[in-house]
DNA sequence: CTGATATCTTACGTTAACGTCAACTATCAA
DNA sequence: TTGATAGTTGACGTTAACGTAAGATATCAG
């Protein structure tokens, strides 16, 4: 599920519990292409996961819950990332420093994109909070008038 | 739909367009008790709305979209608010300054509750953004090592 | 090897939040 | 008064995101 996965020792139930979802959800996400199923698995064999898989799933769940992205939109993000990964594989040179640099740079862009999404949502939330604060100020002023001052 | 509504001149289609939803959504929300249908309307007559109704609908949509609240949760909020409104009606005294003060104080609490929800979400989003920024810093440091310095 | 337990696959079920359609009807400009 | 237009009620349809159940199988402790 992840090319750079290390241990690959966790089973689906443990992953589900740690992330706070059900095994069904994990299988469903795999079916949608969100978790890029590991290739060396025969039909019927148990799925095995590593820490990087757990991190990835957590990331997806947060994008879903905090930004309200649909699974379809998540698939879009993941596919875009994989498309870039494919491009880098064709620029596959040697596994030299140059290639590693390229990988790191792609990761940077990926994280920057997510950060941009999060910040956009932060802005709209700040706007919402600002309006509520305005409302609150007006109400408190009104309360002050009614309590201490005169003027109904 | 709102006791303090003024004009009550807009029809459902105009409201829908202005808020960015469909008429069906408005009827559905009314059916769920989110818009407290106006009592003076016979079966088959057109619904009429005022600016306060538009504002209320906008508020609901934002709570739905920005905080991801379900309609059931929104019903909970609205019912809680109406329960307090009912209490104030029993403390119905005269429509004096004292009563108006009470109403303003309830509105303040209502807005404070919403603001609390928004701020909670802002905190979790800030946490998320912070983690992404950390990740980004680590990646950039790594990029710097690979580009300028040595050490693979 | 042998249960006990967790997983696997397949397939149908469920729920929220509307969409859509049909047959009427209210509103309003001309 | 008369259409044109938009709205009304009622009912069934749809979609995303899983839930659930059944029968078979893989894993692993003992």
Q: List pLDDT tens digits, range A98-127.
A: 888 988 999 999 999 999 999 999 999 999
CA B129 to chain centre: 24
Task: Tell if the CB–CB gap between B122 and A125 is shorter than 8 Å.
Answer: yes
Interface test with A, best of B20, B119, B136 (most A CBs within 10 A): B136
Residue A79, CB, less than 7 Å from strand C?
A: no
The pLDDT value given to residue B149:
62
Highest-scoring range by mean pLDDT, A38-42, A93-97, A144-148, B19-23: B19-23
**Residue linked to tokens 């807009």:** B10
Interatomic CA distance for residues B54 and B16, integer angstroms: 9
With a cut of 60, say whether residue A152 has pLDDT above it: no
Task: Tell if the CB–CB gap between A121 and B146 is shorter than 8 Å.
Answer: no
Task: Tell if the CB–CB gap between A118 and B129 is shorter than 8 Å.
Answer: yes
With a cut of 80, say whether residue A95 has pLDDT above it: no
Nucleotide nearest A24, CA–C1', reads D18
Mean pLDDT of B51-77: 97
Q: Is A150 helix (H, G, I), strand (E, B) or coil?
A: coil
The pLDDT value given to residue B86:
81
With a cut of 90, say whether residue B89 has pLDDT above it: no
Interatomic CA distance for residues A126 and B121, integer angstroms: 10
Interatomic CA distance for residues A118 and A125, integer angstroms: 11
What residues contact residue A109 under an 8 Å CB cut-off, 6+ apart?
A84
| Higher pLDDT among residues B17 and A82, named by residue | B17
Reported as a single tens digit per residue, the pLDDT across A125-139 is: 999 999 999 999 999
Whether domain A1-69 has CATH 1.10.1660.10: yes
Reported as a single tens digit per residue, the pLDDT across A12-61 is: 999 999 999 999 999 999 999 999 877 889 999 999 999 999 999 999 99
- Chain D positions under 7 Å from a protein CB? 6-9, 16-20, 25-27
The angle subtended at Cα A76 by Cα A84 and Cα B124, nearest 5°, is 105
With a cut of 50, say whether residue A5 has pLDDT above it: no
CA B149 to chain centre: 52
Q: Across the interface, which of A121, A124, A143 has its CB nearest the CB of B101? A: A143
> Rounded to a whole number, what is the distance in angstroms from the first to the last CA of chain B?
68
Reported as a single tens digit per residue, the pLDDT across A83-94 is: 888 877 777 666
Task: Tell if the CB–CB gap between B132 and A115 is shorter than 8 Å.
Answer: yes
B44 to chain A, minimum CA–CA distance in Å? 36
* Nearest protein residue by Cα to C1' of nucleotide D25: A44
Q: For residues B118 and A128, is the Cβ–Cβ distance under 8 A? A: yes
With a cut of 50, say whether residue B5 has pLDDT above it: no
ipTM: 0.89
B152 to chain A, minimum CA–CA distance in Å? 7
What residues contact residue B44 under an 8 Å CB cut-off, 6+ apart?
none
Domain ranges of chain A: 1-69, 93-152
Fold classification of B1-67 (topology level): Multidrug-efflux Transporter Regulator; Chain: A; Domain 2 (1.10.1660)
Interatomic CA distance for residues B143 and A112, integer angstroms: 14
């Amino acid at each position: 599920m992840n090319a750079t996965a290390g241990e690959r020792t966790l089973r689906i139930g443990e992953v589900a519990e740690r992330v706070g979802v059900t095994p069904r959800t994990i299988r469903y996400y795999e079916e949608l292409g969100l978790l890029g199923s590991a290739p060396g698995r025969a039909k019927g064999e148990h799925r095995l996961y590593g820490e990087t898989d757990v991190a990835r799933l957590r990331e997806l769940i947060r994008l879903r819950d905090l930004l309200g992205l649909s699974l379809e939109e998540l698939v879009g993000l993941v596919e875009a990332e994989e498309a870039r990964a494919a491009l880098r594989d064709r620029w596959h040179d040697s596994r030299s420093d140059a290639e590693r640099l390229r990988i790191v740079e792609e990761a940077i862009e990926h994280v920057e994109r997510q950060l941009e999404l999060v910040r956009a949502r932060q802005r709209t939330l700040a706007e919402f909070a600002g309006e509520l604060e305005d409302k609150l100020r007006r109400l408190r002023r009104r309360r002050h008038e009614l309590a201490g001052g005169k003027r109904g």
